Amino acid sequence: MTFGAEFVPLTLPPLVIAVLAALACAAPGNFLLLRGQSMLGDAMSHVVLPGIVTAFLLTGSAAQPVMLAGALAAAAVSSALIEGIRRATGADPGAAMGVTFTAMFALGVLLLETSGAGAVHLDVEHALYGNLEGLIWIDATGWASLADPAALATLPPELPALAIATAAILGALALFWRPLTIATFDEGFANSAGIPTRWISAGVTGLTALAAVAAFSAVGSILTIAMLICPPATARLLTDSLPRQMALSLAIAALSAALGTVIAGYLPLALGLGFSVSASGSIAVLSGIFLGLAATIGPRRRRLAAAP
């Protein structure tokens, strides 16, 4: 068997999906980082589960759009809850988030375990680590299949869905780049300049939720959190320019995803072990290692000395 005959059906689709998910998450992650909301990604990736399960229980359908709508609705409910808890209790944002996402995730798990929603082809482990390795392209026979429309039609459905979502997220960020940066840097000034900062804020939350939802079914919550946070944080330690930070974070995210998938699939085999390990986990670890490197030798890793 040639390399292509094995690589194209078994490794290429997970690799492309991982890269797309990484790009979708890392892009809004840059703004979360600068707005001091990085943990919102953590919260969003947890609340997707109850959204998907509830949508299935209500409609009986496991179609992609239904799941997406359920997850987005859950994201909206949770951000309203977080804000409500902050107002009602005066708790700091971290604590309000912690209360919300643990309760919603617990609800999702209970619904899943007690309602027989197993038909969603979803179990808790899947929600946590994703199922990247399972997204194979059965009909592909080698590199030639990439030019074969009949074979392309049998690509895992997650791939085109994720491609659309990623394009939408990157497009929205590009379109609203200027007001986004102004509102992130100085909300008061943005208000006075006529930028609707509340909508910008809701938009960032919405894009994060969309990224979490789109990535979730393919790569699980762990990779979603890692990609929302680690590549932007790494890029932040490398440059002072926001456009460069964005570009670097996307490059780092893509590199982590591609390299992580390949390492997970082939490194244990190369070491003589007869199995592969979790691709999502490897990608997350790799992105963490990149951050560790940047934190040790990154040219812009230090804080500016505090003014009195």
Exactly one of 98, 142, 182, 201 binds other proteins (CB under 8 A); that residue is: 98
Q: Which of 76, 77, 255, 277 binds other proteins (CB under 8 A)?
A: 277
142 binds other proteins (CB under 8 A): no
Q: Confirm or reject binding of residue 105 to other proteins (CB under 8 A).
A: yes
Three-class secondary structure assignment of the chain: CCHHHHHHHHCHHHHHHHHHHHHHHHHHHHHHHHCCCHHHHHHHHHHHHHHHHHHHHHHCCCCHHHHHHHHHHHHHHHHHHHHHHHHHHCCCHHHHHHHHHHHHHHHHHHHHHHCCHHHHCCCHHHHHHCCHHHCCCCCCCCHHHHHCHHHHCCCCCHHHHHHHHHHHHHHHHHHCHHHHHHHHHCHHHHHHCCCCHHHHHHHHHHHHHHHHHHHHHHHHHHHHHHHHHHHHHHHHCCCCCHHHHHHHHHHHHHHHHHHHHHHHHHHHHHCCCCCCCCHHHHHHHHHHHHHHHHHHHCCCCCCCCCCC
Site for other proteins in 257-276 (CB under 8 A): 264, 268, 273-276
CB of 43 to other proteins, least distance (A): 10
> Is 297 a residue that touches other proteins (CB under 8 A)?
no
In the complex with other proteins, the residue whose CB is nearer, 194 or 274, is 274
128 forms part of the interface with other proteins (CB under 8 A):
yes
CA 291 → CA 29, 203, 258, 288, distances in Å?
14, 27, 17, 5
116 touching other proteins, by CB under 8 A: no
Does position 31 bind other proteins by CB under 8 A? no
Is there binding between residue 168 and other proteins (CB under 8 A)?
no
| Angle formed by the axes of helices 64-89 and 93-114, nearest 10° | 140
| Segment interacting with other proteins, rule: CB under 8 A, options 2-10, 14-22, 166-174, 226-234 | 226-234
Contacts of 39 (CB under 8 A, 6+ apart): 94, 97
Applying CB under 8 A, among 65, 94, 160, 299 the residue interacting with other proteins is 94
Give the residue with the Cβ less far from other proteins, 39 or 172: 39
Is residue 10 involved in binding other proteins (CB under 8 A)? no
Instruction: Give the shortest CB-132-to-other proteins separation in angstroms.
Output: 11
Shortest distance in whole angstroms from residue 260 CB to other proteins:
9
Task: Tell me how many residues contact other proteins (CB under 8 A).
Answer: 73
Specify the amino acid at residue 47. Answer: V
Which listed residue (42, 139, 148, 187) binds other proteins by CB under 8 A? 42
Binding mask 46-85 for other proteins (x = CB under 8 A): ---------------------------------------x
Q: In whole angstroms, how close is the CB of 56 to other proteins at the nearest point?
A: 18
The two three-digit tokens of residue 137, written as one number: 């392209």
- Confirm or reject binding of residue 303 to other proteins (CB under 8 A): yes
Residue list 182-211, contact with other proteins (CB under 8 A)? none
List the one residue from 1, 60, 88, 147 that touches other proteins (CB under 8 A): 88
Check residue 110 for interaction with other proteins (CB under 8 A): yes
How many other CB atoms are there within 10 angstroms of residue 196's CB atom? 13
Site for other proteins, residues 232 to 261, rule: CB under 8 A: 232-233, 236-237
